[in-house]
Structure 1
Amino acid sequence: MIGFLEIRRRRLQFFLIGLIVTLISYLVLMINGLGVGLNEQAGRALRNFDADALAYSDRAGLSVIRSELSSEAVERIAAESGAREWAPLGYMAVNYTREDGSVKSAAVLGFDPGTIAEPPVTGGRGLGAGDANGVLADRQFLRASGLKVGDTVTFSVRLQERQFTIVGEINEGAFFFQPSVYLLRSSWRELKYGPDAAEAPVASVVLLKGDGLAGKRGSGWEAVSKSTAFANIEGVSGQQSTVQALRAFGYLIGGLVIGVFFYVLTIQKTPQIGVLKAVGASTAFVFRQLLIQALLVALGGVVVAVPLAWLTNRAIQQVPDPVPIAFTTGTFVTTSLLLLVMAVVGALFSGRQVAKVDPIIALGQQQ
């Protein structure tokens, strides 16, 4: 094929074009990875709840922070929702001090053992009814704090401090952009409202499991799906809009850069295209060679950019406070396919120029 032969003969030129395409592909992949990572930081723990819907106080505006439910409200939700299984869950933010002396925040989730709110344990042991001073720590929390199973951690809330022992490790992810820790709901209630708050709320939300629960409402409560609950986490909608805009600009710029490169190459090759047409090559044949070149360059850039982005992510995850970048197989596949499509779109800019080449004029320019 003529397109392959030209790439072999003009290695340096196509290498430089491929390098630019690789860098653009890498940039778009990292932007997409940032979008996935920010979503995970915002609420992977919420997405991992063993539930089909979440019930909030109807005065909270679907905010876990502002939602507070009394024991009577929890009982009404269980009775009125028709859920197959249900479990109250409490949320609050606390501060803790890392080994280096810096103060960080964590998301504390209070649950009842044996319910759908209990997270699966990946290391150590689970919490029992008597573990009032025990917690299950997410691996992200352990990495950030420098602690391990068996260590103690001190949580600060307002003017009080309380020590807990890490009895187990979980892998539920972050909640509200904070690493998560789970403790007994009774301990959560005491930590948040104080030991003498007999009339204090008993939960922030209620996890519901069953069919057709999203959209149900009752006396003082409303239920939504997990996806709706995630979308209503403070800051998520603005963050997603920003990442989507960056992603769109990345694809647009990538397509334009590839298109400009091959448009310039096409102009430079006008005399050669004229010779091909003079000996009987059709416009479609010539354009097909250009399209093959564009796809090869884009494919080479993606093949290099994907492992480079993966290795970058692995390196970033080794630091105590990693940039929230994460990749899934879908992220790599979707991004690679879209970049190849943009390469084809960019190469289409050259199609009109190829069609306009007149063999007689082109041969005259070559003399």
Structure 2
Amino acid sequence: MFLAIRELKHAKFRYLLIGCIMLLVAWLTFIVSGLANGLALDNASAMKNMNGDYFVLQKSAEQKLARSSIQTNTLDEIRKEDGVEEAVPLSVATMSFVPNGEEKKVDVTVFGVERTSMIMPDDVEGSSIQNVGEHEAVVDASLKRQGIELGDTLINEDFGITFTVVGFAEGQMFSHMPVLYTDTESFQTMMKETGRQKEPAYNAVVVKGETSISESNTHVEVLTKDGAMQGIPGYKEEQGSLTMMIAFLLIIAAFIQAVFFYVITLQKTNQFGVLKAIGAKTSYLAKNLIGQVLLLATVAIGISITLTFGISALFPESMPFELGIDVIIKYALLLIGVAVLGALLSLRRIAKIDAIEAIGRVE
């Protein structure tokens, strides 16, 4: 590292440029990954945070929760299976409500769950679903930003359906809409009043444990939680687009760094030849180059993480941005790996340098 640090001090401007490029690429990568993670949670956090292992959906629903219809007898079959620890029904519907008779409408996804259901959020401000009465609901905390408070009434003007807000829960979004949790009885009553459903049925059964219901019932399929999330409209396409952007950023970073360090290596061919002539081994020169790359990449990534958190504080509260420690570590390691990969071309060039030939070109 001695040689690497001396060279960084000697050619400050040259390495400052490549350091800035590394920083900007890393900064953009963290911002895009934060947006991708935030959009994923904004689209599916209610399902992701559910206390369950599998979702049983109607096979013809094409893994779409809203299209699925599971009969009550199927729920009874699942509950009788040996590997099932718990199985609870989940009903889903999308509706528009007007808070307290105001003009502005609020679109929500209504989840109908049993009052003692394992899939109900635990951390609730106010009353949980276990203690609510008929036509009372626990809603996602994002509705607070729209002025909704505990005790407010949500009214569906088309059918005269009302819900009183008795609790708020964090991280309960589905298909980019806040979730409204109510008990199964209130949900079934709501569906009958709207004419959407005449007989009791559910959209899915959430299972904790192991289930083999799809072997005996060919009309249903069992999906993992991630598989069920992929079926949310737009989820897979949204995440695929953002992941492709990140992949292109990493590829571009690898090419830029490879070209930069290769050009520098060509410019220093004579110096490397002299070092080899006085006894420096190729492995020593390679270690210094890798050390140089690692030092630049680490500093650039560290600064970019600080800048990312700084600029995220300026984002509006409604912007879905989430950058957890696991995401930071994942992309930091990827960016460091890309930087080292970009330097491999230069390592090959250093290994091929002939000391006598290089010294012969020294003027």
> Same fold, TM exceeding 0.5?
yes
- Corresponding position: 1:210 with 2:209: yes
- Secondary structure in 2 aligned to 1:50? coil
| Deviation of 1:4 (Å) | 0.4
What is the aligned partner in structure 2 of residue 184 from structure 1? 183
Unaligned runs of 5+ in 2: none
State whether residues 53 and 226 of structure 1, in contact with CA within 8 Å, keep that contact through their aligned partners in structure 2. yes
Separation in structure 2 between the aligned mates of residue 220 and residue 356 of structure 1, nearest angstrom:
65
Which amino acid is the alignment partner of residue 263 of structure 1? Y
State whether residues 72 and 200 of structure 2, in contact with CA within 8 Å, keep that contact through their aligned partners in structure 1. yes
- For residues 89-238 of structure 1, what are the structure 2 equivalents within 5 Å? 89-96=90-97, 103-128=105-130, 131-143=133-145, 145-155=146-156, 159-194=158-193, 199-213=198-212, 215-218=214-217, 220-238=219-237
Match of 1:338 among 315, 330, 334: 334
| Deviation of 1:165 (Å) | 2.2
Work out the percentage of aligned pairs sharing the same amino acid.
Answer: 26
Separation in structure 2 between the aligned mates of residue 246 and residue 220 of structure 1, nearest angstrom:
38
Distance of aligned partners of 1:153 and 1:98 in 2 relative to their CA distance in 1, 3 Å threshold: closer
| Deviation of 1:3 (Å) | 0.9
User: Larger deviation: 188-197 or 201-210?
Assistant: 188-197
- Secondary structure in 1 aligned to 2:66? coil
Which amino acid is the alignment partner of residue 119 of structure 2? A
Which amino acid is the alignment partner of residue 301 of structure 1? A
Distance of aligned partners of 1:266 and 1:206 in 2 relative to their CA distance in 1, 3 Å threshold: same
Separation in structure 2 between the aligned mates of residue 116 and residue 35 of structure 1, nearest angstrom:
28
Distance of aligned partners of 1:229 and 1:360 in 2 relative to their CA distance in 1, 3 Å threshold: same
Separation in structure 2 between the aligned mates of residue 342 and residue 274 of structure 1, nearest angstrom:
28
Distance of aligned partners of 1:82 and 1:333 in 2 relative to their CA distance in 1, 3 Å threshold: closer
Distance of aligned partners of 1:129 and 1:302 in 2 relative to their CA distance in 1, 3 Å threshold: closer
Separation in structure 1 between the aligned mates of residue 129 and residue 343 of structure 2, nearest angstrom:
60
Separation in structure 1 between the aligned mates of residue 38 and residue 214 of structure 2, nearest angstrom:
28
- Secondary structure in 2 aligned to 1:223? strand
| Deviation of 1:89 (Å) | 1.6
What is the aligned partner in structure 1 of residue 353 from structure 2? 357
Separation in structure 2 between the aligned mates of residue 199 and residue 234 of structure 1, nearest angstrom:
26
User: Larger deviation: 124-133 or 287-296?
Assistant: 124-133
Which amino acid is the alignment partner of residue 135 of structure 1? A
Which amino acid is the alignment partner of residue 136 of structure 1? V
Which amino acid is the alignment partner of residue 120 of structure 2? E
User: Larger deviation: 74-83 or 170-179?
Assistant: 74-83
Separation in structure 2 between the aligned mates of residue 111 and residue 124 of structure 1, nearest angstrom:
18
Runs of at least 4 residues off by over 6 Å: 98-101, 195-198
Aligned length: 361
| Deviation of 1:364 (Å) | 4.5
- Secondary structure in 1 aligned to 2:89? strand
Task: Render the CA deviation track for 1:331-352: whole Å, top value 9, x for unaligned.
Answer: 1111111111111111111122
- Secondary structure in 1 aligned to 2:61? coil
Which amino acid is the alignment partner of residue 167 of structure 2? G
Separation in structure 2 between the aligned mates of residue 288 and residue 214 of structure 1, nearest angstrom:
57
| Deviation of 1:127 (Å) | 3.2
Separation in structure 2 between the aligned mates of residue 212 and residue 75 of structure 1, nearest angstrom:
13
What is the aligned partner in structure 2 of residue 45 from structure 1? 46
User: Larger deviation: 214-223 or 305-314?
Assistant: 214-223
- Secondary structure in 1 aligned to 2:164? strand
User: Larger deviation: 86-95 or 239-248?
Assistant: 239-248
Which amino acid is the alignment partner of residue 107 of structure 1? T
- For residues 215-294 of structure 1, what are the structure 2 equivalents within 5 Å? 215-218=214-217, 220-294=219-293
| Deviation of 1:215 (Å) | 4.7
Separation in structure 1 between the aligned mates of residue 215 and residue 120 of structure 2, nearest angstrom:
24
State whether residues 57 and 221 of structure 2, in contact with CA within 8 Å, keep that contact through their aligned partners in structure 1. yes
Task: Render the CA deviation track for 1:126-165: whole Å, top value 9, x for unaligned.
Answer: 235662232111123333x232333333346xx3353322
Instruction: Normalising by structure 2, report the TM-score.
Output: 0.88
Separation in structure 1 between the aligned mates of residue 50 and residue 132 of structure 2, nearest angstrom:
24
User: Larger deviation: 288-297 or 223-232?
Assistant: 223-232
Give the CA RMSD over aligned residues.
2.8
What is the aligned partner in structure 1 of residue 87 from structure 2? 86
Unaligned runs of 5+ in 1: none
State whether residues 283 and 355 of structure 1, in contact with CA within 8 Å, keep that contact through their aligned partners in structure 2. yes
Separation in structure 2 between the aligned mates of residue 219 and residue 363 of structure 1, nearest angstrom:
77
Which amino acid is the alignment partner of residue 26 of structure 2? S
- Secondary structure in 2 aligned to 1:203? coil
Separation in structure 1 between the aligned mates of residue 133 and residue 115 of structure 2, nearest angstrom:
10
State whether residues 81 and 216 of structure 1, in contact with CA within 8 Å, keep that contact through their aligned partners in structure 2. no
Instruction: Normalising by structure 1, report the TM-score.
Output: 0.87
What is the aligned partner in structure 2 of residue 9 from structure 1? 10
